[in-house]
Amino acid sequence: MSNSYGKLFRITTFGESHGAAVGVTIDGCPAGLEITTEEIQYALDRRRPGQSDITTPRKEEDKVTILSGVFEGKTTGTPIALVVNNKDQHSHDYSHVEHAFRPSHADYTYTAKYGLRDFRGGGRSSARETVARVAAGALAAKLLQHYGITVQSYVSQVGTIKLRKHYSKLDLSQIDSNKVRCPDGKIAARMIGVVEEARDSLDTIGGVVSCVVKGVPAGLGEPVFDKLHAELGKAMLSINAVKGFEYGSGFEGVKMRGSEHNDQFYTDEEGNIRTRTNNSGGIQGGISNGQDIYFNVAFKPVATILQPQTTINDAGEEITLQGKGRHDPCVLPRAVPIVDAMAALVLADFLLRQKVNKL
């Protein structure tokens, strides 16, 4: 079941980078959810290649087709199938890596596991697979919206350039106002400069995407193995190039004492239970407590660089390899909608699971 995710709101993705298409089936989406092709397309347009000069120049329109499960603008409760055709494959760009193990790619591990691999753009290990996740995530986000839950991700760090403002001090409506998807214009300009420098030197750069989820009710998550933060971590770490996940105070919390870190409860004027601080990141005991959920996702530099590197081939011989083709100098701008999608999928699944937990 390695190509499926979720228990009640369950997705299964399919397709390869240079295959005919990529797509997803969604099972468990409640009937009656209003959804349009345009809403799904909007999410895909934020992820698609060729958006700007700091993303891959591969030209894919990523036009989605709804094959089943939606009738007259509403979900029917039956499996939903979405497909996006691949149109701009340059498979010949990868002929030089047919027998090579590219540094920090999945070439060797896929060969070790399966005894063969699709070398065209990495096949199933390519980030092209995330098209399917983003398409499914659009439906999950629409379901969350119905319950007043919003998911917003943004780039908070590129290389050493870091946005240090707390998310509550940012205007998150400005996330898409620049090509790096950082809601602070001045910091965004510096980030873009770092990406352009990496691109011009035939190199790549990594960074951090931050995510904020608002409107989550208390009670989502499971107490032991399916803790909400554990599932969010699993979902984020399943995204290509992700190397780290932290929620709430994260690693900075180790510098604090319990008296500083504890989130003290109080009852607000409307009778709601709140906490005065939110070092817990909206999750305690693996279950949401009604506060904002926030977390950071670390992305490594894109592994394909256009500089010569030493590696070996599948015969164990040392070779020199230089990347070719069209690649992102920084994955972060296009990773933002992927983080959005995976967070929405996790929360949609837990939302449905909670509805069967109590009368």
**Annotation: binding site for NADP(+):** 47
Q: Give dist(CA 40, CA 75) in Å, integer.
A: 13
Q: Give dist(CA 274, CA 147) in Å, integer.
A: 19
Question: Strand 308-313 to strand 100-101: parallel, antiparallel, or no bridges (unpaired)?
Answer: antiparallel
Complete DSSP assignment for 53-112: TTS--------EEEEESEETTEE-SSPEEEEEE-----GGGGGGGSSEE-TTSSHHHHHH
Burial grade of 162 (CB within 10 A; 0-12, 13-18, 19 or more): middle
SS3 assignment, position 210: strand
Edge-to-edge strand order for the sheet containing 64-68?
4-5, 10-15, 21-27, 80-85, 64-68
Q: What are the angstrom distances between the C-alpha of 170 and each of 174, 176, 212, 250, 298?
A: 9, 13, 11, 20, 20
User: For residue 165, how many other CB atoms are within 10 A of its CB?
Assistant: 12
Among candidate residues 16, 18, 14, the one with its CA nearest the CA of residue 325:
18
Annotated binding site: 47, 124-126, 240-241, 285, 300-304, 326
Question: Strand 273-275 to strand 265-267: parallel, antiparallel, or no bridges (unpaired)?
Answer: antiparallel
Annotated binding site for FMN: 124-126, 240-241, 285, 300-304, 326
* Tokens (6 digits) for 235: 């979902």
Would you state the torsion angle of the CA atoms of residues 113, 3, 117, 62, taken in this order, to the nearest 10 degrees?
-160
Q: Give dist(CA 317, CA 336) in Å, integer.
A: 39
User: For residue 186, how many other CB atoms are within 10 A of its CB?
Assistant: 9
